[in-house]
Chains A and B, each alone.
Chain A
């Protein structure tokens, strides 16, 4: 009798196995960042210690601290990520997730995990990927090219302001980049939570980096899961750099302000 039971179980497992493999993504167990290989098994332990309070044990963003946070901790089961080098609609590269974990997300509850070693972060990335089947079913698209920066000149800034107008960034970000455009109030993220466009004049770090190249990448790839769209189809590399140069002028005393701005931004957004 027990033997038949075992046999039944074996057969059942054999049936179950492929579906688990193909659907749940439990077996996307690794991450690769340069020479580092992250293992989900190790990542799981770290996740239980550092991430579970916000992102939840199921990775659905329903950790015990979620109620106190705005924006909400990311629901990893949706497989949507803001900070990507890949085009809109594509999963991110492992290195994108790795960079995000190290960089944190300024103006939100997502801390910078610099105290963790690179190996730790690679392991965490491998584990975070297991929550969404997208990492099993899909391959990331080729990253968006970032052309060499053109010189910052008054002409470039002027052209950039025309690009800002013609691409209608002001619809959401406002004429002066204050995040108060005519469409700003109707915006929702992919979980139907209200979301505000970035206010350039506060001068906080962007969620997805702070360099000029980061800024270029942000509007070219868009922030998936949010209303911030991807402009890669609409501008030439030269126009994109003009736009970067112009956006920097909106961040009034960018550089000086940024020392205290992180703090201010936090207050402004709560």
Chain B
């Protein structure tokens, strides 16, 4: 009998492993979420802080369309892959509840579902879009941009004209990397296509808040895009005769915690994230 249990564990484990492997590449997420009327809800809030020495944050030279891309005359552009405030708060971290099966209806703010391309920068840098709804994209710039998606979406949309929104339905959940193929190799942003509304992007102080959470115990996770440049490919831009490199970023990192939510109360969760 003892052996039976051991075997059973082993085989179940194997089954789970295989299931995990066969699903790898699919978005980390969950299968079902039901919107209900949330009565006695609680709130989760907190701060994501940087711990340890602040890594050197890479910048790239503005090699193209400087008149549009660099209205202030800056020569290089921050890639915005890691934005740490003076108070140590880490911006652009996505904090969310894992495996929540029911709660409030989708209410992601408009601002995180609308993307602008302005001065050759994606604004905002991190977007949240509910699965099955549209990401709205436009360009404020007079030069060509293209938004080339990779990951949970593969659309490739040019923006030859200014100020016209193009909606693209985000069908699969998961992470979508954005890049521009019109020579602006520094442009980068991430879209998270999500199945439930309990997602928040930290502000410049690392602050986040999840509201209307049904009471209970949850796993809460902080997700940050990779900030290291994993590899770079140098090429010569024929137009400007400047060497440009298209950076490839390291993998995103997550940190998980447990949180208990009580009705009418605010639960505090602090994340401390670091280089390793």
* Cβ–Cβ < 8 Å partners of A230 in chain B: 155-158
- Quick check: is A263 within 8 A (CB to CB) of the other chain? no
* Cβ–Cβ < 8 Å partners of B183 in chain A: 171, 182-183, 186
- Quick check: is B64 within 8 A (CB to CB) of the other chain? yes
When A180-B238, A186-B185, A233-B166 are in contact, do A89 and B154 touch as well, CB less than 8 Å?
Answer: yes
- Quick check: is A228 within 8 A (CB to CB) of the other chain? yes
A185 touches B156 (CB 8 A): no
- Contacts of B142-181 to chain A: CB distance below 8 A: 144, 146, 148-150, 153-158, 160-161, 166, 168, 171-172, 181
- Contacts of B32-56 to chain A: CB distance below 8 A: none
- Quick check: is A133 within 8 A (CB to CB) of the other chain? yes
The 0/1 profile, CB within 8 Å of A marked 1, for residues 64-104 of chain B is 10000000000000000000000000000000000000000
> What's the dominant secondary structure at chain B's contact region?
mixed
B238 touches A185 (CB 8 A): yes
CA distance A11 to B12 in the complex (A): 8
- Chain A contact-residue range equals 35 or more
When A185-B237, A186-B183, A186-B235 are in contact, do A5 and B156 touch as well, CB less than 8 Å?
Answer: no
> What's the dominant secondary structure at chain A's contact region?
loop
CA distance A180 to B154 in the complex (A): 25
B181 touches A229 (CB 8 A): yes
* Cβ–Cβ < 8 Å partners of A234 in chain B: 158, 160-161
- Quick check: is A70 within 8 A (CB to CB) of the other chain? no
- Quick check: is A268 within 8 A (CB to CB) of the other chain? no
Give the B interface residue count (CB, 8 A): 46
**Within the complex, what minimum Cβ distance (angstroms) separates B136 from chain A?**
12
CA distance A194 to B248 in the complex (A): 13
* Cβ–Cβ < 8 Å partners of B149 in chain A: 89
- Quick check: is B26 within 8 A (CB to CB) of the other chain? yes
A12 touches B15 (CB 8 A): yes
* Cβ–Cβ < 8 Å partners of B236 in chain A: 185
A224 touches B160 (CB 8 A): no
Q: Which residues of B contact A (CB under 8 A)?
A: 4, 7-8, 11-12, 14-16, 18-19, 22-23, 25-26, 64, 144, 146, 148-150, 153-158, 160-161, 166, 168, 171-172, 181-183, 185, 233, 235-240, 244, 246, 248
**Additional A-B contact list (20), CB under 8 Å, known A19-B19, A183-B183, A186-B235:** A8-B4, A11-B11, A12-B12, A16-B15, A19-B23, A23-B19, A89-B149, A89-B155, A89-B168, A166-B160, A168-B144, A171-B182, A182-B64, A183-B64, A184-B238, A185-B236, A190-B154, A230-B156, A230-B158, A231-B158
